[in-house]
Structure 1
């Protein structure tokens, strides 16, 4: 009995990470200037907005949501706006505060990004526009920038 209790105590102390589910939380596509935009020469200006958030679901489970919004302008006109909230449920236990923050702010979004990228690409192609093919994102670098920004704000306060 003591050996079993020791094994359970050891398991409780060790870090745990498990992906439970990946899903689309919200999806939107608008092409306000169709069909006129299809008659123009296609020289798009693409802007991307990316952010993340997470929510504690209790029991070591967390929902992480990656918001990805792409706006394509052709000249002055908005050709399309495509948005996805790609989400995942993760079991995360046994991490210190800094590791937990990094996991939720960088590691989990990096797992969600390929799904969001594929979803947006498919959505844009279904709208009869050329494939989007977004470049990979370095979430570790974005996380480090956000930490530096927050620490800089605290130093100024």
Structure 2
């Protein structure tokens, strides 16, 4: 036997489902091939950047985009560049509006990252280089840093969220 209060409490439990994951954009460039495939000492430095955005698709559904960019080398001596926009459609229910933005920009990319990491590693390997295994990313720290750098936090019900 349940009371109306218990049923209402159960209805308010947050729920999250990843409805789909997909590659929105993938680019790999090897501008100096085949010269870039020759063994070099030392290996070129690799710069990696991460960006996370989310946008509302409906009242409960959001598209979270995790962008990973990696560039080996500098200036005219670029060995390779890879850019991936990996997305997930996330359905959120029973969550307070003020918790939606942090959830999407922290937990969304955390769910997507292992798949995006593997796609980048495979693209670099298929380009003729050792796979690029990106270290795990602390999305909580990334979110906090971006919120400190940003102007006043946007309303969680806004259609677009972003973190770099």
- The TM-score normalised by the length of structure 2 is 0.81
SS at match of 1:58: coil
Moved over 2 A (4+): 5-14
Gaps of 5+ in 1: none
Aligned counterpart, 1:61 = 61
Aligned counterpart, 1:28 = 27
Counterpart check, 1:142 vs 2:131 = no
Deviation at 1:13, TM superposition (A): 2.7
- How many residues are matched? 150
Q: In 2, Cα distance between the equivalents of 1:44 and 1:133? A: 15
8 Å Cα contact 1:54-1:63 kept in structure 2: yes
Deviation at 1:16, TM superposition (A): 1.5
8 Å Cα contact 1:44-1:75 kept in structure 2: no
Give the alignment of 1:37-56 within 5 angstroms.
37-42=36-41, 43-56=43-56
Gaps of 5+ in 2: 153-164
Q: In 1, Cα distance between the equivalents of 2:62 and 2:6? A: 25
Residues 17-55 of structure 1, C-alpha deviations (whole Å, 9 max, x = no match): 111111111111010011111235151110011101111
Higher helix proportion:
1
Change (3 A) 1:25 1:75: closer
- The TM-score normalised by the length of structure 1 is 0.85
Q: In 2, Cα distance between the equivalents of 1:39 and 1:85? A: 29
Higher relative contact order (CA 8 A, sep 6+): 2
Deviation at 1:9, TM superposition (A): 5.3
Q: In 2, Cα distance between the equivalents of 1:97 and 1:66? A: 22
Q: In 2, Cα distance between the equivalents of 1:7 and 1:20? A: 28
Change (3 A) 1:41 1:29: same
Give the alignment of 1:6-155 within 5 angstroms.
12-42=11-41, 43-73=43-73, 77-150=77-150, 153-154=151-152
Residues 85-107 of structure 1, C-alpha deviations (whole Å, 9 max, x = no match): 11000101222233211111111
8 Å Cα contact 1:50-1:68 kept in structure 2: yes
Q: CA RMSD in A?
A: 2.3
